[in-house]
């Protein structure tokens, strides 16, 4: 088979299209080789774009590969092999129909984990079972935080709030547990037997050697024993071609953090993996970041990330900054902090060359990703009044002035794709709501939600976001006038 030789993602994606076309015009390797499995509630999809669907608990009793190879995915694979377009992949078909950009189908299929399994995909066809090479799982929804845009099926702290106080009084009640139960998204309680977690561990010895990327999310994965079971397994079964990552709030109790860093620094020192990456979720700086992610200790997070980067020589960090309206006043400060971490941890040493010029050595270890929050709509960037768009523009200017190409050290600075991603999120913000009424509804829901959030969490929006206070007071007045 012809292999993709390009490392630039866009060129690689262009290269893969004729190879996919040889199989069919709607072929996508992610449908076979990429899997997201929610072990908490028995849902899956491939890739992350199509809607989640249910895994049959009976099917996984004797065949743990049924966690990934569901009848629904097999039906979609069959359609793809015939050149038909399964509906769940509409986001790709829409992009392709516009003909301006490459869809995720091309990007995903050109990535190394997809290339690795190409022959096996052909041999498996639509009826057989296959092990994914890219897998994301969450074992548990236990979490010590209850972030403003999260929900009770993903955070046990949120579940406690809703169990005690009921859903939030937005125009349509928000975060009702009954709703999540009705659509089959509510997790199996920890005290009950979970057939999906049981099947995962049965599958693991067979699955592990095939994986190229394995990511654990949550809840908070550092509060779950299964995460440590995986890391301990790696110690005994090293794989120099496997990349493991976790998504954490980096604000967990000390004993959990210490155990994590002890284990990962050992994995790092004895090169038991190709790479280990810590994804850190944080959406702003200081007190404002703590407000958005209720329960977060920002200083603890920053110290913990420093501690991880110091104790591991090659451990990687990606900050996941989910841009929402409340991120904007402090997002530039966060980027400045990230740049400072790069200065400390990316550059290993310096030396003067024969001409007295300073030369730097190192590797990129600290990254950032800035997706825009889409849901709930009343917390999205679209709610941000136009007068405050300058926060985003100033941050963008700062990133552009500090690329890793412009600086004397190429190990410090933002990469072009990181800047593009931030720009795309700002474009999303500036598109605004489809109608004026959508905007008014979002402003009203914002007021209704955060007044209740302040009461339940003992917080104070108007003190924490002084800059937004007059606007939100006006939104409240408008909402009252409209309803009276
Ligand atoms: S076609 Fe697109 S949406 Fe469907 S699995 Fe592939 S990348 Fe995902």
Q: Among candidates 243, 194, 250, 245, which has minimal Cα distance to 222?
A: 250
Q: What pLDDT score does 224 carry?
A: 95
Above 60 in pLDDT, residue 6? no
Taking the centre of ligand 1 as the mean of its atom positions, its distance from the CA of residue 21, in whole angstroms, is 15
Mean pLDDT for the chain overall: 94
The b/e string for 101-115 (b: 16+ C-beta within 10 A; e otherwise) is ebbbbbbbbbbbbbb
Q: What is the pLDDT of residues 70-102, one digit of tens each?
A: 999 999 999 999 999 999 999 899 989 988 788
- With 0-12 / 13-18 / 19 or more C-beta atoms within 10 angstroms meaning exposed / middle / buried, residue 455 is exposed
Residue nearest to atom 8 of ligand 1 (CA): 47
Above 70 in pLDDT, residue 406? no
Q: What pLDDT score does 75 carry?
A: 97
Taking the chain, what is the end-to-end CA distance rounded to the nearest angstrom? 69
Q: Among candidates 157, 192, 158, 188, which has minimal Cα distance to 176?
A: 158
pLDDT grade for 10, boundaries at 50, 70 and 90: confident
CA pseudo-torsion sign 396, 6, 105, 214: negative
List strand residue ranges (DSSP E) for 297-370, in order: 316-320, 347-352, 358-362, 366-369
Q: Using a 6 Å cutoff on CB, does residue 307 contact ligand 1?
A: no
Mean pLDDT of 264-290: 97
Q: What pLDDT score does 407 carry?
A: 60
Above 70 in pLDDT, residue 364? yes
Q: What pLDDT score does 483 carry?
A: 64
Taking the centre of ligand 1 as the mean of its atom positions, its distance from the CA of residue 45, in whole angstroms, is 10
Residue nearest to atom 3 of ligand 1 (CA): 89
- Which atom of ligand 1 is the closest one to the Cα of 107? 7
Q: Using a 6 Å cutoff on CB, does residue 50 contact ligand 1?
A: yes
Q: What is the pLDDT of residues 469-480, one digit of tens each?
A: 999 999 999 888
- Which atom of ligand 1 is the closest one to the Cα of 29? 6
Q: Using a 6 Å cutoff on CB, does residue 345 contact ligand 1?
A: no
Residue 196 structure tokens:
């999906």
Q: Is the separation of the CB atoms in 292 and 326 below 8 Å?
A: yes
* CA dist., res. 175 & res. 296, Å (int): 20
Q: Is the separation of the CB atoms in 414 and 366 below 8 Å?
A: no
Above 60 in pLDDT, residue 2? no
- With 0-12 / 13-18 / 19 or more C-beta atoms within 10 angstroms meaning exposed / middle / buried, residue 470 is exposed
Mean pLDDT of 408-432: 89
Q: What is the pLDDT of residues 175-203, one digit of tens each?
A: 999 999 999 999 998 889 999 999 999 99
Q: What pLDDT score does 386 carry?
A: 97
Taking the centre of ligand 1 as the mean of its atom positions, its distance from the CA of residue 31, in whole angstroms, is 7
Above 90 in pLDDT, residue 462? yes
CA pseudo-torsion sign 465, 375, 154, 94: negative
Q: What is the pLDDT of residues 29-39, one digit of tens each?
A: 999 999 999 99
The residue ranges of every structural domain in the chain are 9-138, 434-484
3-state secondary structure of 273: strand
Q: Given the structure tokens 């997790």, which residue do they identify?
A: 187
Q: Using a 6 Å cutoff on CB, does residue 77 contact ligand 1?
A: no
Taking the centre of ligand 1 as the mean of its atom positions, its distance from the CA of residue 333, in whole angstroms, is 36
Above 80 in pLDDT, residue 482? no
3-state secondary structure of 137: strand
Of all residues in the chain, what percent carry a pLDDT higher than 90?
84
Q: Using a 6 Å cutoff on CB, does residue 79 contact ligand 1?
A: no
Q: Given the structure tokens 């110290």, which residue do they identify?
A: 303
Above 60 in pLDDT, residue 379? yes
Q: Is the separation of the CB atoms in 456 and 161 below 8 Å?
A: yes
Mean pLDDT of 143-165: 96
Taking the centre of ligand 1 as the mean of its atom positions, its distance from the CA of residue 64, in whole angstroms, is 23
* CA dist., res. 29 & res. 113, Å (int): 10
Above 60 in pLDDT, residue 1? no
* CA dist., res. 23 & res. 123, Å (int): 12
Q: Using a 6 Å cutoff on CB, does residue 31 contact ligand 1?
A: yes
Q: What pLDDT score does 4 carry?
A: 62
Of all residues in the chain, what percent carry a pLDDT higher than 70?
97
* CA dist., res. 243 & res. 215, Å (int): 8
Q: What is the pLDDT of residues 116-141, one digit of tens each?
A: 889 999 999 999 999 999 999 999 99
Taking the centre of ligand 1 as the mean of its atom positions, its distance from the CA of residue 85, in whole angstroms, is 10
- Which atom of ligand 1 is the closest one to the Cα of 104? 7
Q: What pLDDT score does 100 carry?
A: 78
Q: What pLDDT score does 106 carry?
A: 94
CB atoms within 10 A of CB 81: 17
Q: Of 484 and 95, which is predicted with more confidence? A: 95
What count of residues does the chain have? 484
């Amino acid at each position: 088979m012809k292999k993709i030789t390009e490392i630039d993602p866009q060129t690689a994606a262009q290269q893969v299209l004729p190879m996919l076309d040889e199989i069919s015009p709607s072929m996508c390797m992610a449908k076979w080789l990429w899997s997201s499995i929610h072990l908490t509630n028995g849902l899956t999809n491939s890739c992350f774009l199509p809607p989640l669907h249910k895994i049959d608990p009976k099917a996984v009793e004797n065949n743990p590969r049924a966690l990934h190879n569901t009848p629904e995915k097999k039906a979609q694979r069959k359609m793809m092999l015939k050149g038909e377009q399964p509906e769940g992949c509409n986001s790709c078909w829409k992009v392709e129909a516009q003909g301006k950009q490459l869809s995720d189908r091309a990007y995903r299929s050109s990535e190394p984990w997809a290339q690795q399994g190409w022959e096996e995909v052909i041999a498996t066809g639509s009826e057989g079972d296959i092990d994914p090479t890219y897998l994301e799982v969450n074992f548990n929804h236990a979490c010590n935080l209850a972030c403003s845009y999260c929900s009770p099926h993903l955070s046990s702290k949120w579940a406690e709030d809703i169990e005690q106080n009921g859903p939030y009084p937005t125009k349509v009640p928000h975060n009702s547990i009954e709703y999540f139960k009705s659509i089959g998204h509510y997790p199996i309680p920890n005290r009950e037997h979970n057939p999906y977690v049981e099947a995962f561990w049965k599958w693991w010895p067979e699955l592990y050697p095939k994986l190229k990327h394995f990511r654990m999310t949550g809840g908070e994965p550092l509060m779950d024993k299964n995460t440590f079971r995986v890391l301990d397994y790696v110690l005994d079964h090293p794989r120099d071609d496997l990349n493991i990552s976790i998504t954490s709030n980096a604000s967990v109790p000390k004993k959990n953090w210490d155990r994590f860093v002890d284990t990962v620094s050992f994995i790092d020192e004895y090169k038991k993996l190709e790479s280990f990456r810590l994804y850190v979720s944080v959406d702003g700086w200081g007190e404002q970041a703590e407000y958005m992610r209720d329960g977060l200790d920002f200083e603890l997070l920053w110290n913990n990330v420093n501690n991880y980067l110091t104790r591991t020589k090659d451990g990687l960090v990606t900050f996941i900054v989910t841009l929402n309206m409340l991120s904007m006043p402090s997002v530039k400060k966060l980027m400045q902090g990230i740049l400072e971490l790069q200065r400390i941890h990316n550059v290993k040493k310096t030396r003067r060359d024969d001409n007295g010029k300073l030369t730097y050595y190192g590797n990129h270890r600290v990254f950032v990703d800035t997706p825009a929050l889409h849901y709930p709509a009343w917390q999205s960037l679209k709610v941000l009044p136009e007068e405050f768009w300058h926060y985003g523009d100033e941050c963008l200017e700062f990133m552009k002035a500090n690329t890793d190409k412009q600086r004397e050290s190429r190990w410090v600075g933002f990469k072009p794709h990181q800047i593009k991603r931030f720009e795309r999120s700002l474009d999303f913000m500036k598109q605004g709501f489809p109608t004026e009424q959508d905007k008014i509804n979002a402003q009203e829901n914002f007021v209704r939600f955060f007044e209740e959030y302040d009461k339940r969490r003992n917080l104070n929006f108007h003190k924490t976001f002084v800059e937004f206070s007059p606007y939100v007071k006006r939104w409240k007045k408008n909402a009252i006038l409209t309803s009276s």
